[in-house]
Each structure stands twice: as C-alpha cells, then as structure tokens.
Chain A
Amino acid sequence: MAGPAAKPGDPTQPGDSAPGPAARRSAPVRTEWLGLAVRLGLAVVWGWAGLAKIADPAEAAQAVRAFEILPESLVKPVGYGLPFLELALALLLVTGLGVRLVAGVSALLLLTFIAGIASAWARGISIDCGCFGGGGHVDESQTKYLQEILRDTGFLLLAGWLLWRPRTKFSADGWLAS
C-alpha cells in the first residue's frame, strides 16, 4: 500500500509501477479502518448504556418517568425496552450488519435523547438523564444538561460518520458484498 502520503498521480512516488490507482485505493481503505474504529466506538457506547440500565427495572422506569414527557402507561415499556434496543444496536455495530441503517436508527435515538434532555432543561426540572444508568430527580445543583447534550452530540457525530461512510473494515456488510 502506498501509505498515507500518496496522492493520486503524484509523479514523485518512486518504485511504484502504478502510483495513480494504488493511491486512489488508499483513501477508501483508510476510511474503512477509521469507520471500523467509529463503528466499534459507537458499539461500546450503546453496549455500556444498555447494560447500565438493565439491573434494576424500577430504576430504568423512573429514569424515563422523571422526564415527565411520556404518559405513565408508556413509562415501563420504554424503560424496560430501551436498554435492549441499545444492546441490539451495539450487537449490530459489532457485527457490522446493515451499518447505514443501524447508524440511522442510532442517530434518530440520539436526537430523541437530546430533545428530551433539552426539553427537561427548558422546563426547569432537575433530573439526571439516566443515559448510563441511574437517572431520576437530582438536586438543582447536580444537573448536567449541557454536558449530557454535548456528550450525546459527540455520539451523534459518530453515527453521522457511519451514515456518510457506512463501508467499514471487518463488517458483515463487506463480507456479504464480496
């Protein structure tokens, strides 16, 4: 491989019989490696978030209830189901199956979280987002809305990258396409 310094059609590349095509291939390959890192990074985020919410169903339900957005009848289904949705996304990202679709679902979920946190902030209620377990009401001085939104925005960038460049190294998608 020509290495990162290679540029398409660079005439000064020595010892390369076809510098053009080799260099052109190097950019997507680097993107695919970066994509792998992004994919696994997002998988760790979802896996961690999901596992942290599973131990105590009542805690997960309360984290949802504290947002005061969903009606009581939906609090438990969402509190119980959400961690498993997150784990499913983690599993799919690890295998690299349907990366673009999974990235899209991830982005939608993160946008929902950001909207929920922003809404809680705007309404002046004092809660922890419960993004990685815990959650529920906290003292006003303990709220971290800005950090939570910035953190989720960071995760959103990961999902956005995979939406844009879904071809990644060592993915089920890649094996199915070859």
Chain B
Amino acid sequence: MSDKNRDGKRTARERMLEQRAADEAASKRRKKLIVGGAVLAVIAAAVVTGVVVQNQRSKPETPTAAPAGTIGDKNLVIPVGAANAPSVLTVYEDPRCPACGIFEREFAATIDQLEDAGKIYTNAHIVSFIDRAVPGKGSKNGANALACAQDAGHFRDFHDVLYRNQPDETSDAFGDKAVLLNLAKQVNGLDTPEFQACVNDNKFGGWVSAVQQDFDKSSYKSTPTVLLNGQPIYPKNGNDEISPANLVKWVDAANQGKQLGTAGSHGQSPAPTSTASEANNPSPSAG
C-alpha cells in the first residue's frame, strides 16, 4: 500500500464519519423541533380549551331568574322595609361569615325596628365567598335558601333565624339543605313544598353566583360591609364605633327634617306580585 493510497482512504473514512455526525445532529435538531412544537401545541390547546370551557361553565353576571321583589339593574339586591324610607342601609353579608353573625346578633333587632318605623330601607347583598376559603357549600346553599325565602316573601324573618343559628365558620352545617329546611320551620308560613323544592333544587344558584360576581367587582373586600346612605359605618363611622345606640343616632341625624317612610312593614318585602306564590310553577318570571 502506498502512503498516498492510505491518505486517500483515511480522508474518505473521515468524510463518512463527518457526514454521519452531521446527519445525526440534523436528526437530533429535527426531533427537538418536533418535540418542542408538540409541547407548545399541547399547552396552547389546553389553554384555549380551558378558556372556552370555563366561559361556558361560568354563570352569567346577569341572572336568568331572580327572586321576586329583588331590585337594582340586575335584580341582585334584596330590599327590606319601606322603599320610601329616607335612609338606605346597604348590607353585604355572607351566610357563613362569622363577623356577619356577630353583627347580626348585635344589630338585627335594631335594624328591624328602624325598618318597621319607616326610617331605613335596607338593601341586602347576599354574597357567598366563604365557600372559596373554607371548604363547603354553606355560603351558596344558605344564599340560595335566603333567595327562596325572599321569593316567598319571608326574607327578613328567615335571615334573622339563619344568623341566630349560624354554625362555626369551619362547620358547613348550612351546606346541608336539610338543616336549612329545618330552620325554615321557625318562620311562619315559609315551610311550604315550593320553598323546599326551591332549596333542594338550588333554584337561584345562578342568581347567587351573579350577586357574588357583582361583589367581586365592587371595591368592597370583606363582609359585613355596612353603608348608611352610601357611607361605610362598620366597624366605624368616622371615629365613632358602631353600636345599636349609635346606629339609631346616625339614622335619626340623616333623616332630620325628612318625611319617614311607611311604617310597620314587619320586614315582609312588598308582597310578591309575581307568580312566586303560585303553586307548582317551576320558573316564576321574577324581576
């Protein structure tokens, strides 16, 4: 073998090896690109699917059915007392919120009296976000039951009963519909087949979600949020701590020189005029 021949052979083998290495590198790059593309495609498909699916699953911000007698542009507010009372008390409450329970146990009697005297018109926003932080369904089921009570014209009485019997925040007693129905027996005239069906079928679930979404978008971050004529008064009004006596004083001050509203409503919302009181009507065209 001549040296020249050997050189030629070596370069041929080197070229072959180089070519093979280049092929392998190209194939590796191609595989990498395909894998990377597949990964990004999986991620993109998942995100798009998620947005579409969750959009369909989410409950509308404007409810399709609202309890009879609710007010506001989307019928998200439950009114209590005479609409012509000179002061408006706005209350955001969650059925499961312990601070709301404390507030109600201290103030419910005073608020009921102010309503009955035609001094305040309460606008209740029944929110339901405690279920997000503490596992359970007590906020949502409780809010739906309150909506059912409103539909039947017994909101205030049932509301007062619920807060008097509020369980510990970590207990989800209100998540049990039987507990809610049992408590409804304490309100005269509420324990009807319609009310039971309304609670058991979660009839106003969409409305409950809409009320909560409205609260989510508001600037209020906790419950109870209590406003007197739009001014926050809980836990303090300016520098003054809220107390039943102070609440009466503030309401009287705000009402000074104004005509009081119709007295003696006993918390019964204006009698439901819709089909809510009719038996066996699955979808009253409330609101």
Contacts and interface: CB of A to CB of B under 8 A. Distances in A.
Contacts of B48: 81
In the complex, which range does the number of interface residues on chain A fall in? Answer: 35 or more
B31 to A, nearest CB: 6
Contacts of A56: 132
B43 A88 contact: yes
Given A57-B54, A85-B47, A92-B42, 4 more contacts: A58-B212, A61-B58, A101-B39, A137-B222
B201 interface: no
B213 interface: yes
Most chain B CB atoms below 10 A, which of A59, A81, A136: A81
Contacts of A91: 42, 46
Nearest to A72: B217
A76 B53 CA distance: 12
A101 B36 contact: yes
A79 B132 CA distance: 14
B50 A98 contact: no
B280 interface: no
Interface in A162-178: 173, 176-177
A137 B221 contact: yes
Interface residues of B, number: 31
Given A58-B58, A58-B212, A98 B46 contact: no
Interface in B205-232: 209, 212-213, 216-217, 221-222
A135 B39 contact: no
A77 B49 CA distance: 11
B59 interface: yes
Interface in B154-212: 209, 212
B6 interface: no
Interface in A121-144: 126, 128, 133-139
A113 interface: no
B92 interface: no
Contact of B43 (A58, A79, A89, A126): A89
Given A60-B54, A77-B51, A136-B132, A87 B46 contact: yes
B253 interface: no
7 contacts: A62-B129, A80-B55, A84-B47, A84-B53, A88-B46, A88-B47, A97-B39
Nearest to B134: A134
Nearest to B48: A81
Contacts of A62: 129, 132, 216
A105 interface: yes
A102 interface: yes
